[in-house]
Structure 1
């Protein structure tokens, strides 16, 4: 068999495709009044249509009531936000006084040849075990990613406790019936000896 033409409703030929031995079954025409095979009542069948309101794509979800208490005490993300509130100003003053009391740094004039490390204030709200507000905590931290190897540091060390050590201590305390207490240190300073001079603005 040779190729046969495909025709549009007007009768003109559109394209020619090679005929195959497979029989092509005709598709029954779809009529507008053809009944649907299921009895489901839809909005389009009942004539119920809601108007389409254009939006900017923002999806707003209902806010959980349990989180409303936490929203009232938000932690500031920068100094300009924290200085507007007296409790955060008091926390920053306490941090600066502790740093000065421990002689953490010495003020020196800046020179262009120095690699200067930046700083950032970190603000946290400390809470008790039942969720009540305990105090406001402000930390003045150095931006360590500004340091350069062989200039500001040669090696690094992070004194972090291992989870296995915590589990061992808890296991011994439980087996011997000891009481456990948790405490929060306001200012912890590591007395590490730095061989390099680190300059922080």
Structure 2
């Protein structure tokens, strides 16, 4: 991957993080005793917009929800809908907040990948 393409993917990830922040998707907290933390990963897509000759690089953060405990019912009918359940996710690799590296994200809104 060339440095120009790498920068486009980094910009796409920054855009996704900004969107999550603007939508108040999570708070950084210390993981409470006895709680499990879910992993996350990035999904990358290149979209060709019909009104542009340039492709758009899109990065989507997804929760690896297959690790949720059995029987946990998280309603994801509306993406970014408010969550009532306590769900914790690792901070994003490469984007940890300085001084809070041991904190986790307590999800306030739903993300792709939750069960």
TM-score of the alignment, normalized to the shorter chain, above 0.5: yes
Unaligned runs of 5+ in 1: 1-75, 77-81, 160-188
Q: Decide whether the 8 Å contact of 2:25 with 2:80 is kept in 1.
A: no
Q: Is 1:122 equivalent to 2:43 in the alignment?
A: yes
1:146 to 67, 73, 80: 67
Distance (whole Å) between structure 2 residues aligned to residue 106 and residue 155 of structure 1 = 18
Equivalent residue pairs, number: 89
- Cα distance change, pair 102–131 in 1 and its aligned pair in 2 (3 A): closer
* Pairing 1:93-172 to 2, within 5 Å after superposition: 93-111=14-32, 113-129=34-50, 132-150=53-71, 153-154=72-73, 156-158=75-77
Moved over 6 A (4+): none
1:134 CA drift (Å): 2.8
User: In terms of mean alpha carbon deviation, does 105-114 or 116-125 score higher?
Assistant: 105-114
Unaligned runs of 5+ in 2: 91-115
Tell me the CA shift for residue 195 of structure 1.
Answer: 2.5
Q: TM-score, normalised by structure 1?
A: 0.38
Structure with the larger helix share: 1
Matched, 1:191 2:112: no
Larger RCO of the pair (alpha carbons < 8 Å, separation 6+) = 2
Coordinate RMSD, CA, aligned? 3.0
